[in-house]
């Protein structure tokens, strides 16, 4: 009788995943986080891995700590950059990587590491091109304060309503991509800071690439170095820049790879109208935020909101009349403005109600939270506004290509 030979369990073919940890002045947490990540991957991850600490011109002892970790832990590397910017760090390391898949994590490891294999597995199999962790998926488990929760949801809602984004969470610091795909996208991504992630994802969607989302367990880091107000303003500027490029037909052109997928046909004319409406909406939102901020110096919040919304609604209706729906000349202009006033009432109800609710639930909220409330209200009103303009106000022009 032949003896039974027990074979060792089959291991996946050796593939390499490079995980970048961008850091700026993180001396206090860097060593513990990298050792924790290294220990987890060494013990459970079935593929080859490399951890690269990318120091963004830190002014504390972060770089010496990174060098020490690279010298003492196998599969840990360190890269130093002379300028700040998370996007700059990812561009540098991802652009030079020889791994099959590149990824990044925030140094605080707010996302539970059990989500990492589900994040990269569809990329290693070739099923998907990019992968993101989502804190906004229904099955995600998230612990964070109401202010950051509100701002995050507002930002992602604004992306979906103005730039037609289909991914749910642009800002979670837990992302990965197939290296050849990422390296093809990088030259078309302009931002080098916090908007880098969003621009990369918008570009991927615009070119038909497949984005895999993983619900994550995430706990907020109370010691975060992120300047929320400055980041929000930078993100709005980035959105406006991308919207302008979409309107000019320049976003997603060039040597970016494309998946050959079937796409549902849009109603006649909508393919041209949506980009125009989006850029006008972004400009209107930015204009209202600026005007609101100035008026708040002399008015209470509800009055400042009403006045700023009236002014920008008139401009929004006129711009959409001319550029989105191709209506020129004085005929019907007054009627169009009166009908456009309905969108003002919708926006006023949503934003006034939002501000009133904010001050009821959180009296004395900071002005950045007020601004985020307005962004959310405008985002909710955007879809209604487009449908009303297309199907009621300018209905006779909606069939134009």
Dihedral, CA atoms, 159, 163, 165, 170, nearest 10 degrees? Answer: -40
Q: Within 10 Å of residue 370's Cβ, how many Cβ atoms? A: 21
Cα separations in angstroms, 360 against 144, 149, 169, 345:
21, 18, 28, 22
The residue with greater pLDDT, 183 or 258, is 183
Instruction: List the structure tokens of 343.
Output: 């969108």
Give the distance from CA 299 to its chain's centroid.
Answer: 33
Residues annotated as catalytic are: 197
The pLDDT of residue 398: 42
pLDDT tens sequence across 31-40: 999 999 999 9
* DSSP annotation string for 318-354: HHIIIIIS---SSTTHHHHHHHHHHHHHHHHHHHHHH
DSSP 8-state class, residue 248: T
Lowest mean pLDDT among 192-201, 226-235, 256-265, 322-331: 256-265
Tokens representing 162 are 């103005």
State the DSSP H helix or E strand holding residue 49, giving kind and residue range, or none if neither: strand 48-56
Decide if pLDDT at 5 tops 50: no
H helices present in 137-269, as ranges: 146-163, 179-185, 196-206, 228-247
Distance CA 103, CA 49 (A): 10
Is the pLDDT at 26 greater than 80? The verdict is: yes
Average pLDDT for the chain? 83
Give the tens place of pLDDT for each residue, 124-169.
Answer: 999 999 999 999 888 888 887 787 788 888 888 888 877 888 898 9
Segment holding 78, helix H or strand E: strand 76-81
CA–CA dist 291, 278 (Å, integer): 20
Q: What is the phi/psi pair of residue 134, to 5°?
A: -120, 125
pLDDT exceeds cutoff 70 at 7: no
Sign of CA dihedral 161, 163, 166, 168: negative
Q: Which residue has the higher pLDDT, 230 or 83?
A: 83
What pLDDT was estimated at residue 262? Answer: 40
CA–CA distance, 377 with 373 (Å, rounded to integer): 6
Q: Identify the residue with better confidence: 105 or 239.
A: 105
Position 361 pLDDT exceeds 90: no
Q: Averaged over 187-206, what is the pLDDT? A: 93
Measured CA to CA, the distance from residue 84 to residue 329 in angstroms comes to 50
Whether 107 contacts 22, CB under 8 Å: yes
- State how far the Cα of 312 lies from the Cα of 318, in Å rounded to an integer: 10
Kindly state the percentage of the chain with pLDDT values over 90: 41
pLDDT higher than threshold 60 for residue 339: yes
28: helix, strand or coil: helix
Report the predicted TM-score, pTM, of the whole model to 2 decimal places.
Answer: 0.65
Q: What is the pLDDT of residues 77-99, one digit of tens each?
A: 999 999 999 999 999 999 999 99
- Per the CB < 8 A criterion, the answer to whether 100 and 120 are in contact is no
Among 130, 131, 175, 170, smallest CA distance to 153 is for 170
95, 221, 246 from 183: Cα distances, Å: 6, 30, 21
pLDDT one-digit tens code per residue, 255-302: 566 664 444 445 556 666 777 888 887 888 888 888 999 999 998 988
């Amino acid at each position: 009788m032949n003896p039974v030979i027990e074979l060792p369990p089959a291991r996946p073919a050796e593939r390499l995943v490079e995980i970048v940890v961008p850091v700026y002045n993180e001396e206090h947490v860097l060593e513990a986080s990298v050792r924790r990540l290294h220990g987890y991957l060494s013990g459970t991850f079935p593929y080859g891995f490399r951890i690269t600490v990318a120091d963004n011109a830190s002014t504390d002892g972060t770089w010496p700590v990174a060098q020490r970790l690279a010298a003492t832990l196998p599969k840990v590397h360190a890269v130093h950059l002379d300028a700040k910017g998370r996007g700059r760090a990812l561009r540098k390391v991802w652009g030079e990587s020889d791994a099959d898949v590149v990824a990044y994590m925030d140094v605080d490891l707010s996302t539970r590491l059990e989500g990492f294999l589900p994040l990269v597995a569809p990329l290693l199999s070739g099923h998907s091109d990019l992968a993101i962790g989502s804190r906004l998926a229904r099955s995600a488990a998230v612990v964070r304060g109401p202010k950051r929760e509100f701002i995050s949801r507002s930002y992602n809602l604004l992306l979906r309503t103005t730039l037609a984004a289909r991914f749910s969470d642009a800002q979670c610091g837990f992302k990965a991509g197939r290296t050849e795909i990422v390296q093809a996208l990088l030259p078309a991504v302009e931002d080098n800071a916090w908007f880098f992630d969003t621009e990369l994802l918008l570009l991927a969607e615009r070119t038909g690439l497949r984005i895999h989302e993983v619900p994550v367990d995430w706990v907020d880091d109370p010691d975060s170095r992120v300047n929320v107000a400055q980041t929000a303003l930078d993100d709005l500027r980035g959105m406006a820049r991308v919207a302008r490029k979409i309107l000019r037909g320049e976003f997603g052109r060039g040597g970016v790879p494309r998946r050959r997928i079937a796409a549902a046909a849009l109603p006649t004319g909508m393919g041209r109208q949506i980009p125009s409406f989006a850029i006008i909406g972004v400009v209107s939102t930015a204009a209202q935020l600026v005007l609101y901020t100035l008026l708040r110096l002399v008015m209470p919040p509800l009055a400042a909101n009403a006045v700023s919304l009236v002014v920008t609604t008139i401009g929004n209706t006129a711009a959409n009349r001319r550029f989105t729906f191709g209506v020129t000349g004085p005929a019907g202009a007054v009627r169009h403005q009166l009908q456009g006033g309905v969108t003002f009432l919708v926006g006023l109800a949503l934003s006034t109600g939002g501000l009133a609710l904010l001050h009821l639930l959180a009296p004395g909220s900071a002005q950045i939270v007020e601004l985020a409330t307005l962004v959310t209200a405008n985002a909710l009103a955007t879809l209604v506004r487009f449908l009303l303009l297309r199907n009621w106000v300018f209905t006779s022009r909606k069939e134009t290509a």
